[in-house]
């Protein structure tokens, strides 16, 4: 089965809120944490700047920064029919013949026809 990967980024509103919180943490880092904690304050502020930048890119940029990756597999029904299976035209013709021969009712014909056409 084929696997597909999709990169997902947060929405604009959550990114905007995180951006604003990030700005607050940068200010706290500059005014309080660096003077009180020294090297830890520098680390705090650097992390806050990184978070703020990433969320700013997601909030205001067109592409954004992906925060997760999703991997999916095709389901058995997602694969195209194999060459051994009759194509849709043949299946519809067979279905019409069954109805004409009285082997299935009109309601059964309509239901199965709809299922076949849904595969298109």
**Of the candidate ranges 3-7, 19-23, 109-113, the one whose mean pLDDT is the lowest:** 3-7
Gap between the Cα atoms of 54 and 29, Å rounded: 18
pLDDT band at 96 (very low <50, low <70, confident <90, very high): very high
pTM exceeding 0.85 = no
Residue 109 has pLDDT above 70, yes or no: yes
Do 44 and 33 meet the contact criterion of CB atoms below 8 Å apart?
Answer: yes
Gap between the Cα atoms of 2 and 18, Å rounded: 36
């Amino acid at each position: 089965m084929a696997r597909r990967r999709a990169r997902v980024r947060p929405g604009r509103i959550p990114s905007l809120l995180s951006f604003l919180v990030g700005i607050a943490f940068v200010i706290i880092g500059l005014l309080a944490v660096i003077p009180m904690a020294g090297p830890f304050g520098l680390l705090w502020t650097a992390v806050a700047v990184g978070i703020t930048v990433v969320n700013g890119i997601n909030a205001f940029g067109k592409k954004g920064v992906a925060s997760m990756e999703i991997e999916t597999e095709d389901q058995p029904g997602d694969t195209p029919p194999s060459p051994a299976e009759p194509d849709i035209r043949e299946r519809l013709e067979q279905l019409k013949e069954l109805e004409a021969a009285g082997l299935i009712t009109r309601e059964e014909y309509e239901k199965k026809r709809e299922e076949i056409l849904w595969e298109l």
